[in-house]
Amino acid sequence: MPDVTETRPASSTIEAGPRTYDSLLADCVHCGFCLPACPTYVSWGEEMDSPRGRIDLMKGVSDGVIALDEVMRGHIDACLGCMACVTACPSGVRYDLLIEATRERVEELPRSAEDRAFREFVFSVFPYPKRLRALIPGLWLGTKLGLTRLAAGPLGKLLPARLRQLTTMAPAINLRESFSALPPFTPAKGETRARVALVAGCVQRAFFPNVNAATIRVLSAEGCEVIVPRGQGCCGALSLHSGRTEEAKRFARSLIAHFERERIGAILINAAGCGSTLKQYGELFAADDGWRARGEAFAEKVRDINEFLATLEPRAPRKPLPLRVAYHDACHLAHAQRVRTQPRQLLRTIPELELLEIPDGDQCCGSAGTYNLFQPKSAHEIGVRKVDNVQSVAPDLVASANPGCTLQMQSVLRERGETLRAAHPVELLDAAINGTPLP
């Protein structure tokens, strides 16, 4: 995360708030509780592809006995950053800070021209909502012509793995919704209980605009005034989770500046990966005297939409939704933000909705931000395991609080020639409260 000095080439004096990198490494007692929680260790059984093994590698580099080289990078790149190990760890090891700091160092290593070009494409498009939207007409046309289905089938295996993954992940596109602007202000229905601001996101805004619209309608129905600050951009999550810390800070500063102008009680987000980063802004700017207080003040107001709605006594009447719904725990909601019971609590307020638990439900789906783009083979393996577990409970619909998870699961299903309806929990609430059709 924070700065990496160049004074010890084989080591590091990375600061993580008041803690140094080496002191964070020392928290690990090598107990192994993290092993069964780690998707890559479960898949491959390799010690160096477990949190404990990766911490050993980090310590070896820090002590100057292991080279920071391509082999080391392979094990770090293979980590999803799902934070299941943080939940499992009885010693409270901050693996989240360690992996982000290590990735910053790893990004200094040279990559192949192909790898470098693909990464630059991803980071020059995905954190920019306008650029993402520019892709939408082509994705829409490709879907209509059946190219997405074709890429998911046997012929798709002739494509490079990353290109195939990009193509098969393309969601169903509604052109009108994707290019519709969110209202800058939506009044509360009835007595006003709160005044909140919404972070619209990048992927959420471009590919799942209905989730943002549903969020605003539900908040309004529950007595909240909703502000959507104009000109807001990326939160920096994709950059931070990929070791591009300075880029993440630039995005974060801009977002903070846009929201500081508003008189609000809470800053809400409906994408789990973004939410975990927004709540980290205090740590992100821990070594920056000019931005530390601003980052902390922003982070203190951030709430996931499920987390926030669960604190409100339900006021809007719910109509029955006779559906069997499997709830998928997004890693950056369940592990990074510790938000687990609230989405289930909200879904249980809907009459006739049967909530289903997925076997190994807290295991990652393989999306993990940009992981399924950069590591498509292992992401697919992990995604297949997740979809198998989802289908084992025979749901009518799977609910996910993160757009990347939805794209990942639908990609695996598309490859099988199967479909399963997917929705954000707030879309189910919107359907029950306002009668809005589900996806």
**Is the same domain home to 199 and 273?**
yes
Q: Which residues contact 439 (CB under 8 A, 6 or more apart)?
A: 172, 210, 421, 422, 423, 427
Residue 377 lies in a domain: yes
**Is the same domain home to 156 and 90?**
no
**Is the same domain home to 194 and 163?**
no
Q: What is the CATH number of the domain that holds 197?
A: 3.40.50
DSSP state of 222: T
Residue 128 lies in a domain: yes
Residue 439 lies in a domain: no
pLDDT, residue 149, reads 67
* CA–CA separation, 31 and 36 (whole Å): 12
- In degrees, rounded to 5, the angle at the alpha carbon of residue 170 between the alpha carbons of residues 433 and 143 is 100
Residue 397 lies in a domain: yes
**Is the same domain home to 183 and 305?**
yes
Residue 50 lies in a domain: yes
**Is the same domain home to 300 and 207?**
yes
**Coil, helix or strand for 20?**
strand
Domain stops at, among 106, 126, 159: 106
Residue 5 lies in a domain: no
Residue 7 lies in a domain: no
* Nearest CA-CA partner of 1 in 378, 295, 258: 295
* CA–CA separation, 14 and 1 (whole Å): 8
The answer to whether 400 and 406 are in contact (CB under 8 A) is yes
* CA–CA separation, 302 and 1 (whole Å): 20
pLDDT, residue 177, reads 79
pLDDT, residue 439, reads 83
Domain stops at, among 174, 192, 226: 174
* CA–CA separation, 308 and 327 (whole Å): 18
**Is the same domain home to 388 and 332?**
yes
The domain containing residue 101 runs over which residues? 15-106
pLDDT tens digits, the chain, 439 residues: what are they? 333 322 222 333 344 555 789 999 999 999 999 999 999 999 999 999 999 999 999 999 999 999 999 999 999 999 999 999 999 999 999 999 999 999 999 998 999 998 899 999 999 999 999 898 888 887 777 777 666 666 666 666 656 666 666 676 777 777 777 788 899 999 999 999 999 999 999 999 999 999 999 999 999 999 999 999 999 999 999 999 999 999 999 999 999 999 998 999 999 999 999 999 999 999 999 999 899 999 999 999 999 999 999 999 999 999 999 999 999 999 999 999 999 999 999 999 999 999 999 999 989 999 998 999 899 899 999 999 999 999 999 999 999 999 999 999 998 988 888 889 999 999 999 999 999 999 8
**Is the same domain home to 102 and 155?**
no
DSSP state of 437: P
pLDDT, residue 224, reads 98
Q: Looking at the 3D structure of the chain, how many domains does it have?
A: 4
**Is the same domain home to 349 and 417?**
yes
Residue 6 lies in a domain: no
* CA–CA separation, 258 and 283 (whole Å): 20
**Is the same domain home to 191 and 130?**
no
**Is the same domain home to 239 and 293?**
yes
Domain stops at, among 250, 279, 309: 309
**Is the same domain home to 183 and 301?**
yes
**Is the same domain home to 182 and 282?**
yes
**How far is C-alpha 121 from the geometric centre of its chain's CA atoms?**
19
Residue written as token pair 């911490």 = 55
